[in-house]
Amino acid sequence: MEEMDNQNFLAENKPTTITSLANLKDRFIAFINTPMDEHKASFKNTMDKVRSQISSRMSKDDAQEKVDEGKAVESHSPL
């Protein structure tokens, strides 16, 4: 019974696996055949996005630190 279930599972999922492998092969071939200039441009765009996200997060953290420092000063002020 278990063997039949495994066979049914494999039979049902085989086209998906074949399609996935074919897609992977096509993407790999496209990657290999892409000119180096396009790879460089894509890499530069990706790195620019990463840098902007990091700087955005850092500026938010800096702003939050300033707010927190202001609260700390207010709470510790003499009477």
pLDDT recorded at residue 17: 79
pLDDT recorded at residue 64: 74
CA distances from 41 to 27, 38, 55, 67 (A): 18, 5, 21, 39
Consecutive sets of 10 residues in the chain, 79 residues long: mean pLDDT of each? 59 72 93 96 96 88 71 57
* DSSP 8-state assignment for residue 79: -
Give dist(CA 59, CA 79) in Å, integer.
Answer: 33
pLDDT recorded at residue 28: 95
Predicted model pTM: 0.47
pLDDT recorded at residue 48: 96
What are the tokens at 45?
């765009």
